Chains A and B, each alone.
Chain A
Amino acid sequence: MTVLVRLVRYRVAVILGLTLLIASLTVSGFPSVTTLGLGLDRSATIGIIAIGMTVLLIARQIDLSVGSTFALAGITAIMLQPVIGIWPAALAGVLAGAAAGAFNGLLSVVFRVNALVATLATMLIFRSVAHWLTDSQPVPGTDIMLSLALSTVHLEIFTLRSALFVGSILLLHFWLTRTVAGRNLFAVGSNADAAEASGIAPGRTVFLAFVFAGTLAGVAGVLQSLTTNTGSPVFGAELIVTVIAAVVVGGTRIEGGRGSALGTLGGVLTIAALTTAMEFQSVPAYIQQVVVGLILILLVVLDRTVRPGPRTHAAAGVPG
């Protein structure tokens, strides 16, 4: 039983290990440094957004608009290039992401709109603004050489964005496990009333979590647009599902109060490894999604049935 519990606790690592093992044995040419480097690069976009999503889910919130924010930030960064230069425009793109996050936070905290509903609305709004700004056409950037430079692989493994992703997730791990603010986040997600009673401001925490998630979606969007030298209103239309899947595969609960940075890293890498391995074998896209879906269900069911876990976490906060 303890072995089983331990296996379940580290289920993401187990699944990731199994995926890599099976892929290495059955897919020729899979175990190579090039695959690792390109696999990390493909995880980076999803991963950077997943960092923000992890924080939001822990706080028992969700942001469905990250894909639209991603597009909007990229468009901002590209459209402003001829006006204010590449790097100021990139900064403006990230700020656009932060602003989108702040707007979500405002709706959710001040106007008390349920996060699912609020961000569903802003998902549609931001996407439409992206179409409106660009007249539904992709906008080319000013410097194609920059995008070639950004997609260069360093040390045979890292591109700029994959290094940024791995670095950020380690920072998030530190922040969640070692700082008061990180622990407060879990408290707010487990039981906002109890958190408030013990002197934490849940509203402020949730608001900042939204800003954080928006900013990271902005960073990912700006990097994507710089790397592809394009701001496109259709970018990121399919992202949200993969991001949530990666975070949940990583063991973060959609009900709030539980989750971890390293879990998310595992979730993101698992999905990237699965996808890459299946692409190597030319498995049709719809079958790939069935596999990812099944793994998601498997992990969540394992989590529910085996773990004896402290389910009383939330109840413990209520006196009496």
Chain B
Amino acid sequence: MTKAKTGTIVSALALLASVGWAEARTVCYVTAADAHAYATPANEALEARAEELGIEVITLSQNFDVQTGTQQLNTCIARNADGIILWPLDPQAYIPGLARAQQAEIPAILINSPMDEQANQFILSFTGPDVYEQGGMAADSLTDVLGGEGSVVVIAGQAGNGTTIGRVGGFVDRLAEIDSKIEVLDTVNADFDQQKALVVSRDLITRFGDGIDGVYANDDTMARGFIDAWKEARPGEPMPPIVGINGQRDAFESIKSGEMYSTIVQSPVEDGKLAIETMARILDGQEVGARLPIPLTVVTKANVDSVEPAF
């Protein structure tokens, strides 16, 4: 009788504990997209690491639409998640949502892309690559290969996206800083999309042709678009040196074959893992740094065989 009673109490406690544990650790993850060369492996890494840490993740995909994302923040709050990881696609638009999360005492961090300083009071941390630094590294790389002068075109990501702003801004600022003789002919948006990059590259090649001494693409996907456009418009002619970012596998192939000059490895796996690990520490009541970067490596033909591609 007593034994049965104890057993009941123990199992009741176990049940309570398991319910409490399950409820205590639900993280709402508002990601940029769910089918994208960079975002998908980052999402998968985040979810896999969350499972190891015993955290349940609700993944909501904005599909690159800011409007959707601001609404999804509301869903996270209504769902009463224990933490929010936001992949911002705009430097301002999510601030009211983040403020609302703060009112509801839900801790929030940013993954991958930065927001404006005004957002800082509503977030505990920002984990992800330093995109501004990447822009600078890309400028250095292009300076190296061009010998410090020439005319280049910039194929930028989605307008207004923090990653785009950082990667373009870091690039332009570094060129100004070293008083470079490299001139930017034009900067066009291709939304991190290979097909759009192909279309804008055709236009750039038609407009500037041989005037293009170098190309800076905000990511390797768009660099691929330029390569295809060049091959189509000027088959057999030497390609201007192209600098990309992300370090994807096909960019490594292009560097080996000489179609691309360099890329910067930024691992989506590290990106996703760092975000959920940071959130786990917050949920455990630990202090976290306000800015947690992931490592970056410039890859050229010189080291392409010794570095692992990001994805």
Contact = CB atoms under 8 A, between A and B. Distances in A.
Nearest to B75: A279
Interface stretch (A97-105, A192-200, A208-216, A225-233): A225-233
A285 B78 contact: no
Interface in A25-71: 29, 32, 34-35, 38-39, 41-42, 45
Given A140-B116, A144-B95, A285-B34, A280 B189 contact: no
Contacts of A38: 74-75, 77-78
Given A224-B67, A229-B95, 13 more contacts: A38-B74, A42-B71, A136-B160, A138-B160, A227-B96, A228-B96, A229-B93, A232-B66, A232-B160, A276-B78, A282-B57, A282-B59, A285-B68
B60 interface: yes
Contacts of B92: 138, 140-141, 144, 228-230
Contact of B159 (A29, A224, A234, A236): A234
Interface of B: 34-35, 57-63, 65-68, 70-72, 74-75, 77-80, 90-97, 99-100, 116, 118, 158-160, 165, 189
A238 B67 contact: yes
A45 B165 CA distance: 27
Interface of A: 29, 32, 34-35, 38-39, 41-42, 45, 131, 136-138, 140-141, 144, 147-148, 150-151, 224, 227-230, 232-239, 275-276, 279-282, 284-286
Contacts of A239: 67
A150 B34 contact: no
Contacts of A42: 71, 74-75
A276 B75 contact: yes
The interface centre, meaning the residue of A32, A42, A279 with most chain B CB atoms within 10 A of its CB, is A279
B79 A29 contact: yes
Contacts of B61: 284-285
Contacts of B34: 284-286
B77 A34 contact: yes
Nearest to B31: A285
A284 to B, nearest CB: 5
A20 to B, nearest CB: 14
16 contacts: A34-B77, A34-B78, A38-B74, A136-B160, A137-B165, A138-B159, A140-B91, A140-B92, A144-B92, A148-B95, A228-B92, A229-B92, A230-B91, A234-B66, A236-B67, A281-B58
A151 B79 CA distance: 18
A279 B72 contact: yes
The interface centre, meaning the residue of A227, A232, A275, A285 with most chain B CB atoms within 10 A of its CB, is A285
Contact of A234 (B60, B72, B158): B158
Given A38-B74, A137-B165, A148-B99, A279 B60 contact: yes
A136 B187 CA distance: 11
A151 B96 contact: yes
A284 B59 CA distance: 8
Closest 10 CB pairs of A and B: A136-B159, A228-B93, A138-B160, A151-B96, A38-B74, A230-B92, A285-B61, A282-B58, A42-B71, A279-B75
A232 B93 contact: yes
Given A138-B92, A229-B92, A285 B63 contact: yes
A279 B62 CA distance: 11
A287 B308 CA distance: 34
B74 A41 contact: yes
Nearest to B34: A284
B95 A147 contact: yes
Contacts of B159: 131, 136-138, 233-234
A140 B72 CA distance: 21
A140 B99 CA distance: 17
B67 A230 contact: no
A181 B99 CA distance: 44
Contacts of B35: 286
Contacts of B66: 228, 232, 234-235
Contacts of A238: 63, 65, 67-68
Contacts of A150: 96
A141 B116 CA distance: 12
